[in-house]
Amino acid sequence: MDEDLKKLLGKTANAIRQLSMEAVQKANSGHPGLPLGCAELGAFLYGSLLRHNPKNPKWLNRDRLVLSAGHGSMWLYSCLYLSGFKVSLEEIKHFRQLHSITPGHPEYGMTEGVEATTGPLGQGVGNAVGMALGLKMLAERFNREDFELFNSKVYCLAGDGCMMEGISSEASSFAGHLQLDNLILIYDSNHICLDGPTSECFTENTKARYRAYGWDVYELDGYDFDRMESLFGELKKKQDRPVFIELRTVIGKGSPHKAGTSKAHGSPLGSEEVVLTKDALGLPKEEFYVPQAVLSYFEQRLEKDEGCEREWNELFRRWAAAYPELAEEFKQMKEKHLPDHLEETLNQVEIKSPIAGRAASQIVLNALAKHMPQLIGGSADLSVSDLTMMKEYPILTANHFGGRNIKYGVREFAMGTITNGLSLTGMFTPFCGTFLTFSDYMRNSIRLACLSHYQVIYQFTHDSIFLGEDGPTHQPVEHLAALRAIPNLHLIRPADSHEVRMAWIAALRYHGPTAIILSRQNLPDLAQTKVPYEKGMALGAYIVKKEKGAPDFTLFATGSELSLALEAAERLEKIGKQVRVVSFPCWQLFEKQSSAYKESVVGGNLGVRVAIEAATDFGWHKYIGQDGIAICMEGFGHSAPAADLAQEFGFTVDAIVERLLADE
């Protein structure tokens, strides 16, 4: 490496150290260890290696840097500030403060240059795999001879905790299987975790593990700029598979009394130690000081970064002129265009009744795939059962990234994080599927999708005890309530094929995550649900049977229990009772309606309020009141045929009517 550049990057590294430790100290909260230990890496990545444009952080062919070890966020914020992203010095000084754009762990959409919301360790590894996969898919779709639109790389910085969390194993195994040659995982190996030395809890041969996954593996001194330049330079010229780099560093490097110890990990150094560290590093006493030479260098680099995008834009212009049909597909994907007359199109799709929710959803999914090139997805080894396969399109393989069906294997958590990463490419609407009970494996990835409003769609099938003989290990009971509890998640449990159609419309229109909850067993189509989207599903809950006089009972139901509620209502009316029935497929959409509409559905004197759902009653009393009747599950299910379970747990017309009349 040129000596002048090496000196400049050394000054940049120390600027990263000073900004980071002082911001953590000012906040009296944070993790100084990683920023101090990985400062040279940050200086090299942002000062020399990454091809991006801080003035346009969404440039599609940019290199991406994902900080999986999100606790080291001040490292990232310092790098973003120096590079010219919209992270000011004032925001650095407001690290971890209310309404700042420098929160304790990076959040996508809040801070320009943050590629993914990270914090729970290891999730960034999965996100990076998803991004790399998405870029490989885009390259296969759109690259042509002499027009290499997509050739960027995804870099991910992970720590010991990321390596210990199982998600890194799932995601890395999958990346090795697909031989993702645009992914580089950098492991900050400093032998220290929050609780002490890793020798007390983590002694595996991580490099051997990654070789077993099918990755190329390297070691790198975290303070050797010459070796960084040569290694990453070689990888830019030629990379055949995912790369794992064990970066040997010293946590808290520069701190006289805390470097190399867990004391540098998760707590401020302390004001006295900050002064001593600055003295040891030869830094000025002025707080938040950045040498003018560093600022000038990054200003010049910014011009180069903008030039890279201008060159790409010109390439894109010539490509679009040469391939107008591809350019139109590109535009459709970029704009997430929905089919014209979407509702009319789906209503024309033939679906024969009775039919399982999962089967109806597959028919809808296959119809949508013809009109939506951005729609991609897959399943955790269950596509033949959760019915997520798009039949007219191939399976994605290491030799064919043009496929639109992804086989994730039995890796639910990785599937969730990879799906998030695919969404973050900005060009896809990804979905993924598994049984509802296994959503527990995915929960942390679902939560981050909700936090950051990623548009992803979950097809969760086998939605209740009525999946039958597989028994209570597979029968979800608490899962509807657990997922409904996550802010920003639209959970939709459709009652028949018409509501399935409308559920997909809702999911495609929502700029956030949606879970569509589907039955294994066949369900009858209901005449009462065949209403326009805006008068039914869009409202979250709607009246499917109106009472003629003051109601004696109001029955709220979702999914397979809606037909049961309608049958019970018919039986009750034969003995002179007035009954209202409400289909309640999506609580979250209902809560977004006007007060007047909500009052018209669930307000006033509704007689005895009854919730009918083959799941725990948690949450239902908001709508039925403390005196309402919850015909729900009070424990786990059993292994038995669905009809026997219905009898056992009171989900029959006779049992419901008897229960209501007894409590009247």
Q: So where are the chain's domains?
A: 3-306, 342-529, 539-663
- Region 3-306: CATH code: 3.40.50.970
User: 63 CB contacts (<8 Å, ≥6 apart)?
Assistant: 49, 50, 51, 52, 152, 153, 154, 155
Contact, 421 vs 448, CB < 8 A? no
Q: Hey, what are 435's tokens?
A: 């049984």
Phi, psi at 614, each rounded to 5°: -80, 60
Quick: pLDDT tens for 578-625: 999 999 999 999 999 999 999 999 999 999 999 999 999 999 999 999
User: In the 3-class helix/strand/coil scheme, how is 596-626 assigned residue by residue?
Assistant: HHHHHHHCCCCCEEEEEEEEECCCCHHHHCC
% of the chain surpassing 70 pLDDT:
100
Looking from the CA of 517 toward its CB, the CA atoms found within 13 Å total 31
DSSP conformation class of 150: -
Task: Assign domain 539-663 one CATH number from 3.20.20.60, 3.40.605.10, 3.40.50.920, 3.40.50.720.
Answer: 3.40.50.920
Instruction: Using pLDDT thresholds of 50, 70 and 90, give the confidence band for residue 647.
Output: very high
Element (H, E) at 303: helix 292-322
Residue 29 has pLDDT above 90, yes or no: yes
Q: Fold match between 3-306 and 342-529?
A: yes
Positive or negative, the Cα torsion across 610, 614, 617, 620? negative
pLDDT in tens, 57-92: 999 999 999 999 999 999 999 999 999 999 999 999
Confidence at residue 93, expressed as pLDDT on a 0 to 100 scale: 98
- To the nearest whole number, what is the mean pLDDT of the chain? 97
DSSP class of residue 380 equals S
pLDDT in tens, 104-152: 999 999 999 999 999 999 999 999 999 999 999 999 999 999 999 999 9
Q: Flag whether pLDDT at 664 surpasses 80.
A: no
Which of the pair, 664 or 370, is modelled with greater confidence?
370
257 burial type by CB count under 10 A (0-12 exposed, 13-18 middle, 19+ buried): middle
CA 242 to chain centre: 22
Query: Which residues fall within 8 angstroms of residue 172, CB to CB, at 6 or more apart?
Result: 125, 129, 185, 210, 213, 215, 242, 244
Q: What is the pLDDT of residue 598?
A: 98
Phi/psi of residue 378, nearest 5 degrees? -175, -165
pTM score, two decimals?
A: 0.98
Which segments within 335-472 are labelled E, that is strand? 355-356, 375-379, 405-407, 429-435, 457-461
Q: pLDDT band for 221, please (50, 70, 90 cuts).
A: very high
pLDDT higher than 80, residue 663: no
Q: What pLDDT was estimated at residue 539?
A: 98
- pLDDT for the residue 193: 94
Compute the average pLDDT of residues 643-662: 97
- Whether residue 566 is predicted with pLDDT greater than 80 in this model: the reply is yes
What's the CA gap between 128 and 115, in Å, rounded? 9
**Helices 561-574 & 653-663, crossing angle to 10 degrees?**
60
Give me the CATH topology for the region 342-529: Rossmann fold (3.40.50)
* CA nearest neighbour of 491 among 407, 574, 558: 558
- The one-letter amino acid at 572: L
Which residues are identified as catalytic? Answer: 412
Q: What is the band of 54 on the pLDDT scale with cuts at 50, 70, 90?
A: very high
Looking at this protein, which amino acid is placed at residue 281?
Answer: L
Tell me, what's the pLDDT at 109? 97
Give dist(CA 605, CA 646) in Å, integer.
30
**Residue with token string 């001593």:** 276
Strands (E), 427-546: 429-435, 457-461, 490-492, 514-517, 522-523, 542-545
Local confidence band at 288 (pLDDT 50, 70, 90 cut-offs): very high
